[in-house]
Structure 1
Amino acid sequence: MTRLHDHLAEAIKDPDPIRVRSGGSPEEDLICLRFETMKVYSALGAVRHLLDTGRVHPGDTLIDSSSGIYAHALALACHRYGMKCHIVGSTTVDRTLRVQLEILGATVEQVPSSNNLQLDQNLRVRRIGEILRDNPTYHWMQQYHDDIHYLGYRAVADLVASLVPSGPVCLVGGVGTGASTGAIAAYLRERGRDVNLVGVQPFGSVTFGAGHTQDPEMIIAGIGSSIEFRNVRHELYDRMHWISFEYAMSAAVDLLRTSGVFAGLSAGAAYLSALWEHNCDRDRKHVFLAADTGTRYVESAFARHAEARPMASMRPREIDSLDQLAVPWSAMSWDRRESGRARRAEFPAATPSH
């Protein structure tokens, strides 16, 4: 029976599970979880928790920085729960998204254009600091640092468990803030499942030690940063892949061409990584995340589809030291190592959904 939702945020968050051919038998096919905007899970769970614990109240203003996906998610969550929303966005927040955010009641400002990952992130965080000084009652959501963003992803773990009811699983996706791939894997492991977690990062991201590298093309927004993401639990990850724009674009084009899935650059990177991991370990069911649609990458990536490399021509450089990282694609066994710093907070307990 079709469920009637009380708000678009509840309806839009659920992904479409899609079988993606791996080149082997049907039993070896990959599963793509294709979201319209994955971080709605994160934003809804976080805002609910803040309201439940009295840290914020209806009518308060929530503020955060975003390259696009989280901006939409937070605006929808604020609309759902009667909150005000202020977004400090990067230039990847295009006109289509900005108009939606404004109509939803969010105020939006964008930092100056930059192709430098570090400069883009630092400008946004600096601007948030200025706004908070002038508006001390605003609550900074800190999607990059606050562990409450893990909470909403228990439902995604439940979905993966239903799609793959038994046997070992490999989950592949962008590390991002850590509150997506890390959270889903942690909740699955809580259930006793055998889960290999494979994270995907862009070159230039400091989260897993690639800050000394650079992508000659553009940054892949949303899956890595030049600033430390304190809610990433490094010890959850078994393998890491660092993938360039060119390779992510090529894989995203192939995903659309072969499976009809129109998804963003992080999905292309996850698809490429999942295929490689599947070829290395065929005993696991491989699930990869497509966190958003490809709409905002039409001009920067998909319009260049004639330049896409054949999938068979792309292979990772297997490394055993971060000093060996090299564009366009490096892969490494992380083996659930900690980052060498103390955790800021423990993995949060789930709160009741409303």
Structure 2
Amino acid sequence: MTVMRPHPHPQPDAVPAPAPVHEHVTDAVKAPDLIRLAPHTVLARFETLKVYAALGAVRTLLERGTITPGQTLVDSSSGIYALALAMACHRYGLRCHIVASTTVDATLRTQLEILGATVDRMPPSQDLRLDQERRVRRVRELLLSRPDMHWMRQYHDAIHYAGYREFADLVTAALPGPELTVVGAVGTGASTAGLVLPLRRRGVSVRLVGLQPFGSVTFGSDRFQDPEAIIAGIGSAIPFGNVRHELYDTLHWIDFRHATAGAVALLRDHAVFAGLSTGAAYLTAAWEAVRHPEQTYLVIGPDTGHRYTERAFARHREIPEARTLKPHQITDLADLVPPWSVMEWRRRRHGEETPS
């Protein structure tokens, strides 16, 4: 990765266009900042990516009459969706109940409470599957006692794709070429599907590169464990209905240390402070760009790096240099190995045999 140095003779800033006055903070934070990292690589840097998902889903449910103002929306979350849903509820006059993962820290929990959300926090657990299963079980208990609640089902309801059409519009305007490689965490599947589907329908040839942690059931790495992993939200220990496996061209599995190396490199090279899934995407895009330099790359950066400061960024002196790292290239899931593997997925469906 090349560190970008300041131009020796800085050019004067262009006269800025008048800034819009937003009616609600969600309008201000939903769209990303687009930052050029290399001649053909652009980062979409979000404060919280899932504002698109929450706003689109809530607005659609209100338009359909499925929910009404004043009703309580409930869902499980490991972090950024919780804040996005609470903000959407604040905007549209709805109540919010979050069943929170153990990864939700005190800062986020306090924000949720002040926004008026009720927070159920699960007991501490190092077992991702146990944490997710507990959260789903708790949501079901709430629905039995409070049938007036509406379960948002961010992991399974494709209504969460809807809001990302706005992101697709932004990408179309900013990167109008006929070909694009999107690099992003798989997670619930909504952000990548919600972006890529409308782009492909518009005739853009989109290559989708997905990121997974070791230990995720989504793309078959659940036989591994990464004891340091805190890359919340990019994988799953239980199947997610919103993941459409057939959309992905290439998969990268990346461990905690490699994701941290990418995040540290992004901050060092470009002064961008972003989360570990962004770091993993930056590392991946840099490697992909060497192999396919003719492509234009869009790196999705779903959140900032604040919640990873102590457990990841503070360890920057012991983390390897990103430019020295490369993946193990495999052709079959049986050959998957930490700390970083890559495989051509070739848009096959879940459970299909590896194409020859």
TM-score where L is the length of structure 1: 0.93
Partner secondary structure for residue 240 of structure 1: strand
Q: For structure 1, list consecutive stretches of 5 or more residues without a partner in the other structure.
A: 22-26, 342-354
Q: Which residue of 1 aligns with 2:327?
A: 316
Q: 2:252 aligns with which of 241, 253, 259?
A: 241
Separation (CA, whole Å) in 2 of partners of 1:159 and 1:334: 27
Counterpart residue type for residue 211 of structure 2: V
Greater shift in the superposed pair: 237-246 or 112-121: 112-121
Question: Superposed, which structure 2 residues align to 1:207-286 within 5 Å?
Answer: 207-286=218-297
Offset, 1:111: 0.4
User: How big is the shift at 1:33?
Assistant: 0.5
The match for 1:111 is: 122
Deviates more, 1:328-337 or 1:96-105: 96-105
Q: CA deviation at 1:198?
A: 0.4
Whether contact under 8 Å (1:18, 1:34) holds in the other structure is: yes
Residue 182 of structure 1 contacts residue 237 of structure 1 at CA under 8 Å; is this kept in 2? Answer: no
Note if contact 1:241-1:329 (Cα within 8 Å) is conserved in structure 2: yes
Q: Which residue of 1 aligns with 2:63?
A: 52
How many residue pairs get matched? 335
2:35 is aligned with what amino acid? I
1:118-133 to structure 2, matched below 5 A, reads 118-133=129-144
Q: What SS class does the counterpart of residue 2 from structure 1 fall into?
A: coil
* CA–CA separation in structure 2 for the residues paired with 1:245 and 1:115: 14
State yes or no: 1:20 paired with 2:37: yes
Partner of 2:7: none
Cα deviation for residue 232 of structure 1 reads 0.9
Q: Does 1:68 pair with 2:79?
A: yes
User: What stretches of structure 1 move > 6 A for 4+ residues in a row?
Assistant: none
1:352 is matched with none
Distance 1:340 1:209 in 2: 10
Report the equivalent of 2:9. none
Check conservation: 1:213, 1:325, Cα contact below 8 A: no
Deviations 1:121-156 (A, max 9, x none): 111111111111111111110100000000000111
SS of corresponding position for 2:165:
helix
Distance 2:287 2:196 in 1: 19
Q: Write out per-residue CA displacement over residues 70-127 of structure 1, whole angstroms, 9 at most, x where no aligned residue.
A: 0000000000100000001112211111111111110112101112211111111111
Question: Which residue is equivalent to 1:187?
Answer: 198
Matches within 5 A, 1:86-105: 86-105=97-116
What SS does the corresponding residue of 1:180 show, helix, strand or coil? helix
Q: Out of 300, 308, 316, which is 1:289 matched to?
A: 300
**Aligned: 1:138 with 2:146:** no
Q: Which runs of 5+ in 2 are unaligned?
A: 1-17
Check if 1:201 corresponds to 2:218: no
CA distance in 1, matches of 2:260, 2:125: 20
Contact 1:20 1:31 in 2 (8 A): yes
**1: distance between equivalents of 2:317 and 2:191?**
32
Q: TM (normalized to structure 2)?
A: 0.92
User: 2:214–2:221: 8 Å Cα contact kept in structure 1?
Assistant: yes
Q: Report the residue type matching 2:199 in the other structure.
A: L
Within 1, Cα distance between the matches of 2:138 and 2:313?
Answer: 32
The code of the aligned residue for 1:72 comes to L
CA distance in 2, matches of 1:149, 1:192: 22
Residue pair 2:263, 2:280 contacting (<8 A) in 1 also: yes
Q: Larger Cα Rg: Structure 1 or Structure 2?
A: 2
Identity %: 57
